[in-house]
Amino acid sequence: MRLQYCTCIWCTYRGYSAYYIFQASSQLPVESITMPTFEIHDEAWYPWVLGGYFALVIVTYLACARITAPYGRHWARGWGPTASVRESWIVMESPALWATVLFYSMGEQKLGRVPLIFLRLYQVHYFNRVLIYPLRMKGIRGKSMPLLVALCAFGFNILNSYAQGRWISNYGEYPDSWLTSPKFIIGVTIFFIGFIGNFWSDSILLSLRTDEDDRSYRIPQGGLFRLVSNANYFFEMVEWLGWAIMTWSPAALAFFLYTMANLVPRAKSNHYWYLKKFPDYPKERRILVPYLY
């Protein structure tokens, strides 16, 4: 068995440092690759965590439908201490990189070809979300966000990293033949459509500001923004739908549903914010889903 991709991940846990090297097109057999052995016996509580995750989906939707999270264009006073936007974003999203690797490394199938590919695909998204996206932000000099929002996001990312990492490396069953299955082929195609569309939509939004001191809001144009107010949210939901299909797991399904529970109410708030702020805002644009919603 040969590995086809190259990924280097640095992780520290219980005082030990683990350095994983997967060499592209290498002649090194999988059996000779060594990884640190961490044991976790969560068979009893992992199903309860997943059940709690699905319950969190409902709670999140009900909360977000009533209260618009106070960051970005919806920033509001009265939410306690604040911190700078860029640093808060990096910290609160970072568990998706390091915590996922940590929980993944405890799985019995951590050296499997398919689980490793899943891990890499997952981190493709979060490498952009944690490191690239916040460095591309403009117009945020001096801007802040409530620490409460950052802490909630940090906690969710720990939960999600545990749920996804443990499933793909331990509880899921993914033989090499999975890579030629309809689930994987359809799912990975949808995943990359979502990833590329999300990156493109983010780029359109980021281009609306010229520098660090430009805090003005403008109407986004081009791409799927011609049809909806929240093209970036739409493609993020598409991306995690692809993840749910390719992994075919309850953990991924919970993540997709949570993404919808979080983004659908906020997309609605964003849409009506645009309509209120810009009298010439295109009335034919839908909120989130082209031609439907």
Question: Would you say residue 11 has pLDDT above 80?
Answer: no
pLDDT, mean of residues 19-38: 43
Q: DSSP 3-state assignment of 44?
A: coil
**What pLDDT, in 10s, does the model give residues 257-284?**
999 999 999 999 999 999 999 999 999 9
Which residue shows structure tokens 């945020």?
140
Residue in 117, 129, 142 with CA at minimum distance from that of residue 30: 117
Q: Which residues contact 197 (CB under 8 A, 6 or more apart)?
A: 223, 224, 231, 234, 235, 238, 239
Distance of CA 204 to the CA centre of its chain: 19
The C-alpha angle with vertex 73 and arms to 199 and 231, in degrees rounded to 5, equals 30
User: Residue 141 above 50 pLDDT?
Assistant: yes
Strand partners, 18: 11
Residues 111 and 30 sit within 8 Å (Cβ to Cβ): yes
Contact 246, 184 (CB under 8 A): yes
**Predicted TM-score (pTM) of this structure:** 0.84
- H or E segment and range at residue 173: none
Q: What is the pLDDT of residue 19?
A: 36
Distance CA 190, CA 234 (A): 12
pLDDT tens for 142-201 read: 788 899 999 999 999 999 999 999 999 999 999 999 999 999 999 999 999 999 999 999
For 40, the token pair is 């976790």
- H or E element, residue 24: none
